[in-house]
Amino acid sequence: MSSMEIPSSEQKEASPSNLAMPEIPKCLQIRSVTKGLISFAESLQMTDCGRAAHACIWAPHPGGSNFGECRAAIMMHLRFDGTFGFPGGLLEPEEDVIDGLNREMAEEIGWNPTVRPITWADYYSTQLEPRKNMVLHFFIVQVTLEQFTELEKNCVSAPEYGNEVLGTVRVPLYTMANEYSGLPAFLNNKFIGIAKQQLLLALYHQKIMTEQEIAEVLFKSQNYKLAPNRF
């Protein structure tokens, strides 16, 4: 990214000692979302677990397109294993969470932590994945649309582009006239781990979509995919 300053998503003091558990809307009070949700303080006691950190980079994007209301630009990427996920990755042993996340973001999408470091003010949640013995930290980072677009252009020059990262995508946040194309269809892709649930929680947390809208999208995604004339 350029030397342009990227504002923090929230202008507040934050540190690991005062991180709160996230609010989960009723439509997402399901096991795949809430399973393993723990406080950051609890995660510090799990010294035998591996650790990873990822971030949802997003920008407000009011107005419409040829296909529907844009609402926001949200960055995800196609991973080396054919699944969609958020930028970030494994932390080194003893590596600080913030330092490790900024390092991974620089490697995967060309994020410049000297211009806009990700901080604890961007923290959202922590979940335990017992099958993989992993603790997963998730951050939500707001930028401007201009800065988001600049970052998209720089992604192809990131060290891991073409290796761990095979391309970046904007999530379609509209639902088209056939009631399936757009976000409902996108949610039927294969996501790594809990990335799909994290996307939906980010939409709710940032007030990009209401709880009712998320519930409707989930219904259409799950029930309309086999209906005729959806494409």
What are the residue boundaries of the structural domains of the chain, listed by start? 22-220
CATH match for 22-220 among 3.20.20.80, 3.90.79.10, 3.30.1300.10, 3.50.50.60: 3.90.79.10
In this prediction, residue 229 carries a pLDDT of: 58
User: What confidence category does residue 228 fall into, taking pLDDT thresholds of 50, 70 and 90?
Assistant: low
88 contacts 98 by C-beta, under 8 angstroms: no
Residue 161 has pLDDT above 60, yes or no: yes
Beta-bridged to residue 182, according to DSSP, are: 175
Confidence (pTM): 0.89
Whole-number Å distance between alpha carbons of 82 and 191:
9
Alpha helices by DSSP H, listed for the chain, are 31-34, 40-43, 97-109, 145-155, 183-186, 195-205, 211-223
Whole-number Å distance between alpha carbons of 67 and 25:
27
Kindly report, residue by residue over 16-58, the tens digit of the pLDDT.
767 888 889 888 888 878 888 999 999 988 889 999 999 999 9
Place of tokens 């991974």: 104
